[in-house]
Amino acid sequence: MAEAEHRDVVVVGAGVSGIYQIKRLVDLGIDAIVLEADEDLGGTWYRNRYPGARFDSESYTYGYSFSKELLDEWHWKERFSSQPENLRYLNYVADKFDLRRHMRFDARVETLTWNERERLWHLGLQGGEACTARFVVTSVGVLSVPALPRYEGIDDFAGEAFHTYWWPKEPVPLVGRRVGIIGTGATGVQVIAEIADEVRELTVFQRRPNWSSPLNNSPISEAEMAEIRERYDEIFANCAMSTGGFEHVPDRRGFWNLTREERIAFWDELYEKPGFAILQGNFPEIFYDEAANREMSAYIADRIRRRVADPEVAEKLIPRDHGFGVQRLPLETHYFEAYNRDNVHLVDLSETPIERFTRRGIETTARHHDLDLIVFATGFDAITGAFDRMRIRGVEGRLLGDKWCDGPSTYLGVMTHGFPNLLMVAGPQSVSGSTNFPRAIEGGVNWVTGLLEHVFDRGYTRLEAQAEAEQEWVQEVVRVHERLLLRRSRGWFTGYNANVAGHEAGKVRYQAYFGGAPRYMEFLRKAAADGYPRIDRSR
Ligand code: NA7
């Protein structure tokens, strides 16, 4: 990209959001380009190539809804589709709509600097290139900055080691190898279950267990896919009405109106159902009523005990510090059964912490573990990490990372005061982190596109969210958050990753909006319908 190159809109990131965002802009004839740091498109589904990586959302609720033709053409092969298929899908979409020619790869945006006099963003790319843009739309994903632990001697390990996000493209030999994995979030749970019967030894280093329940995946036949296609309008309408953007409908009979036996019979049904039914289709009380949540957690704990042969191991796999559903729930396929295998070993780091890494493996306070491969499933600098990494300087050179050092503050999750002409799709304090991602991002992209249309039609050159509007939105985010039991959890939903500086336990960063997608979309709809009164505009 030449130094002088200028675009009306630069979109940062060619993942699920960026692909749809560029489609909308190109359709409107807006001069726009996507800059993508990786060598190809796909974002999350380009990067996370680890064994077992797949949707926890029903595939047909995850796909884009904007094109009837696309919906008619694409056959999802599994109810919860795997990473290779998901990446094929995103490529199919980009090729079908000829979007690649609006994308530039290997183009990592390192700096974004606002020039008030010109009313332009100056973008600095890795390698020294630069360009300018009137508007920048970030579609950088919520989990795109992996976080590695800081252990003594971590660089001394002589074997292979990588974060799941960086799982190599080339096949990684597993047969006959001694593999160690750190982390038991949604990623760790998927990897462990997938590779347990392939590797020679699998040692799981678990700091805190997570609640987890069955995914109940199955293939989708031609006939079923035809039925799904017939139902697409209904499917997307259902998702739009649900807080999480899924088809599952909460049970509103009232937790305490039923007998314990009735509740258990209901949970027995939910446990066999696919996907997040056990979360989204459950009694809403489990999310805010401690006693209800305790009972639900006890039910799932019993399920774990029934699946794990060694009672001592089972107890270690049951979370004690948080209730079911208050952190991101990993969904699993034979995860707990993996611990019944002789070659799988659970190391409870709460009893025997890691002391250091060595040339040959990992040493805990109890013993040394010889390993050939170490997998870090240690999570991400979630939601705000990608913004911090870009070094975004707004009005008077203020760094966004400084403004957000104690947590983000935004107007509707799409703008932030002091950073004019910067629009965020799936940004902090939107619903994207807390819902079926594409359902929320389609709404976000449509809103951002509508705003840009409004701006270009009227010749505005500067947009800025009002400071009071931002404060009001933050209050709404906090108010909803504080009503839920998740307020006391320690996970990426609440902005916690022990490996990221500034993320101390107990310090909540209000990263996502938990008021549900319908309520959030209503805020967006109203702001647009009223003519964007909380966004200052000038020519
Ligand atoms: P998560 O859900 O953030 O999980 C990270 C896991 O790694 C979690 O079990 C952590 O334990 C563990 N961890 C992190 N750092 C360490 C250290 N230093 N030592 C031991 N264990 C550690 O990330 P995932 O990738 O699993 O999932 C992210 C999202 O991807 C998921 O929610 C889906 O939306 C897709 P801790 O709980 O902090 O004790």
User: For the residues 443-459, what does the mean pLDDT come to?
Assistant: 97
Cα–Cα distances in Å, from 30 out to 321, 426, 502? 50, 21, 40
Q: Is 499 touching ligand 1 by the criterion CB < 6 Å? A: yes
Q: Check whether 162 has a pLDDT greater than 80.
A: yes
For residue 314, the Cα-to-chain-centroid distance in whole angstroms is: 28
User: For the residues 4-17, what does the mean pLDDT come to?
Assistant: 94
Q: Check whether 398 has a pLDDT greater than 80.
A: yes
Distance CA 21, CA 7 (A): 15
What whole-number percentage of the chain has pLDDT above 70?
99
Q: Is 80 touching ligand 1 by the criterion CB < 6 Å? A: no
Q: Check whether 496 has a pLDDT greater than 90.
A: no
Residue 203's pLDDT is: 98
Bridge partners, 178 (sequence order):
201
2 vs 109, more confident: 109
Q: Check whether 447 has a pLDDT greater than 60.
A: yes
> Residue 130: exposed, middle, or buried by beta-carbon count in 10 A (0-12, 13-18, 19+)?
middle
Q: How far apart are the first and last CA of the chain?
A: 28
Structure tokens at 394: 């707004």
Residue 489's pLDDT is: 86
| Alpha-carbon dihedral angle through residues 393, 476, 62, 253, given to the nearest 10 degrees | 170
Distance CA 330, CA 336 (A): 12
Neighbours of 478 (CB within 10 A): 15
**Could you give the angle at which helices 222-241 and 437-458 cross, rounded to 10 degrees?**
60
Which of 378, 434, 494 to mutate for ligand 1's pocket (most ligand atoms within 8 Å of CB)? Answer: 378
The string of pLDDT tens digits covering residues 321-338 is 999 999 999 999 999 999
User: For the residues 430-443, what does the mean pLDDT come to?
Assistant: 91
The string of pLDDT tens digits covering residues 507-533 is 788 999 999 999 999 999 999 999 999
User: Locate tokens 């001069």: which residue?
Assistant: 31
Cα–Cα distances in Å, from 22 out to 95, 125, 138, 500? 13, 19, 11, 32
| Half-sphere exposure of residue 376: CA atoms within 13 angstroms, side-chain side | 18
Residues with Cβ within 8 Å of residue 230, at least 6 apart in sequence? none
Look at ligand 1, atom 2, and give the residue with the nearest C-alpha. Answer: 185
For residue 460, the Cα-to-chain-centroid distance in whole angstroms is: 33
Residue 4's pLDDT is: 60
Look at ligand 1, atom 23, and give the residue with the nearest C-alpha. Answer: 379
492 vs 184, more confident: 184
The string of pLDDT tens digits covering residues 220-250 is 999 999 999 999 999 999 999 999 999 999 9
User: For the residues 458-484, what does the mean pLDDT come to?
Assistant: 97
Average confidence score pLDDT of the chain = 96
The string of pLDDT tens digits covering residues 69-94 is 999 999 999 999 999 999 999 999 99
